[in-house]
């Protein structure tokens, strides 16, 4: 298990001491780490980081991408029939439960 000094050497800055969990690492993962010439622990940590969703990574959408998505969803909506808003009151959703 890595101590704080080892985490700092590889550029990781844990807020707390890492938990100790016993895991069995598949042989394929060990082989991939060896091919790259990195310690298995570092390789696995990198895989975990890549799989973890984050708000600042490449998985996040820009405001422009969101706007483009909404515009694309609205395309053709002008052809939809206009419905009276009275049909969408709370009472109309629950009429059959009376």
Q: What is the pLDDT of residues 29-68, one digit of tens each?
A: 999 999 999 988 889 888 888 887 664 555 567 888 888 8
pLDDT in the model for residue 52 = 75
Q: How far apart are CA 66 and CA 72, in angstroms?
A: 10
Residues 6+ apart with CB under 8 A from 61: 69
% of the chain surpassing 70 pLDDT: 71
pLDDT in the model for residue 35 = 92
Q: How far apart are CA 12 and CA 46, in angstroms?
A: 10
């Amino acid at each position: 298990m890595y101590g704080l000094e080892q985490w700092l050497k590889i550029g990781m800055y844990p807020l707390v001491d890492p938990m100790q969990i016993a895991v069995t690492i598949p042989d394929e993962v060990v082989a991939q780490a060896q091919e790259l010439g990195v310690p298995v622990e570092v390789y696995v940590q990198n895989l975990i980081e890549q799989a973890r969703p984050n708000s600042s990574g490449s998985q996040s959408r820009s405001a422009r991408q969101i706007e483009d998505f909404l515009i694309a969803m609205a395309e053709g909506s002008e052809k939809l029939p206009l419905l009276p808003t009275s049909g969408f009151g709370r009472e109309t959703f629950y009429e059959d439960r009376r």
